[in-house]
Structure 1
Amino acid sequence: MTAPHDHPAPTTRDVADEPAAGPVAFPGAAVAGGLLAVLLLVGCGLLVRDLLAEAGVIDGDTWVHRAAVALGTQTWTTWMWAVPIGCAVIGLGTLWLALKPRRRTHVMMADHPIVWTRPVDVARRISAAVSDLPDVRHAVTVVGRRRIRVLVTATGPVDSERVAQSAREAAGSAAVAHRIGVKIRRGVRS
């Protein structure tokens, strides 16, 4: 018989066979939501100020009530078209921010579909591997969507095919671009 304070043992499962959603960038709608929250807080502050003025805690007239009365007595004029047009533009912009796809921030490792890495980490790995080649003084790598660019500063003759092969091997199973561009600066001495 088990005691009431005993908990069942947790079960483990392998998630390697399950599809994993890739990491994506911060949603643009969050920024718009933050701005809307600030505007609502300002509105709440105005209402609290009017409540204090109505209660006699502070001197002065209520601002929100005065603005509502002033707007209620207005008649339609051509400048007022700016308000619905502005509201439509803001609404469409917020809708676009909510629906636009977020860009991927990581690349998948082909041999492990649940493991992701940043493109900058792949670039650092390639730069380190290329820097270990003979006569290579320094290497800078940029991993883009379509290609990988490797800029090599050499102190002697360096084979660009060997640099490209080293970059391919260093990228390993990262699902990055297969086109590798190599640019070599020759004759630079330390």
Structure 2
Amino acid sequence: MTANATPTAAPAPLGPHPGDEPRGNPAARGLAVLTSLLLLALTGVALRDLWCHYYRNEAPSDSWLGQTWDYLGSFVTDVAQVTLGIVLIIVGLVLVFYTFKPRPHGYVRVNSPVSLWTRPVDVARKATNTVRNDLGGEQVRSKAGRNRLKVEVGDDGTGAALQERVTRSLNNEFKSLATPPAVSVKLLPNATATNTAANAATNTAANPAPAPVAPEVQR
């Protein structure tokens, strides 16, 4: 008899291939830094108490930590103490939640044989630059997420035709992303026309037309 062959796993693909998504900083990072600072401060206090105990013959009850424990042990249980305990329990549960909270997603993958990722803020900058280069105009604002792209552009008088051109240009620009964002275009009032009308109204208010002069009546 021959033994059954043990199935082997498929070999890993050779050559470049997309890697894992880069992730943002974990939510527990700031809490870990703060906790480390508090523990370092507590370590300093403990070292001070040990030094005073061995070199100054200070009694343990007179040390900073000893006085702190005596002070905490002198409290009488009442409603305020129970409330404080409940608050501390809630804070502890929040800290546990942040400890296990996954790292946030903040990148979008680009279709490429290598690992290439971009940030939503870079997508927004690219969208603004694309609209300015393809359609002209300086009144362009963009805001992007991982799945959506919102663009505000000044209306040049063509209305819906401008929206269609901007949407088509951006869809063509970001089709190389693994998940192209949904493009939303909003038209803004033309700043030049608005400023011209405002200046005209200001000049009219500053320099009113002269009142008509009544003709003289000869007697």
Structure 2 segments unaligned to the other structure (5+ residues): 1-13, 194-219
TM-superposed deviation, 1:165: 0.6
1:8 is matched with: none
Change (3 A) 1:188 1:135: farther
- 2:140 maps to a residue whose letter is A
1:25 aligns with 2:24: yes
Cα shift readout 1:79-132 (whole Å, capped 9, x = no counterpart): 432454233222211111012222211111134472111111112212111112
1:49 is matched with: 48
Structure (1 or 2) with the greater strand fraction = 1
1:126 is matched with: 127
In 2, the alpha carbon distance for the partners of 1:152 and 1:120 equals: 18
Contact 1:109/1:115 (<8 A) preserved: yes
- 2:56 maps to a residue whose letter is G
Change (3 A) 1:110 1:46: same
Change (3 A) 1:69 1:169: same
Structure (1 or 2) with the greater helix fraction = 2
Runs of 4+ in 1 over 6 A off after TM superposition: none
| TM-score, normalisation: structure 1 | 0.75
Cα-Cα RMSD: 3.0
Structure 1 segments unaligned to the other structure (5+ residues): 1-12
Residue 34 of structure 1 aligns to a residue whose secondary structure is: helix
1:189 is matched with: 192
Change (3 A) 1:83 1:46: farther
In 2, the alpha carbon distance for the partners of 1:122 and 1:135 equals: 19
In 1, the alpha carbon distance for the partners of 2:171 and 2:72 equals: 67
Change (3 A) 1:123 1:73: closer
- 1:161 maps to a residue whose letter is E
Contact 2:139/2:191 (<8 A) preserved: no
Alignment of 1:103-122 (within 5 A): 103-112=104-113, 114-122=115-123
Contact 1:125/1:171 (<8 A) preserved: no
Change (3 A) 1:57 1:139: farther
| TM-score, normalisation: structure 2 | 0.67
In 1, the alpha carbon distance for the partners of 2:115 and 2:23 equals: 14
TM-superposed deviation, 1:177: 5.2
Contact 2:106/2:146 (<8 A) preserved: no
1:62 aligns with 2:85: no
TM-superposed deviation, 1:42: 1.6
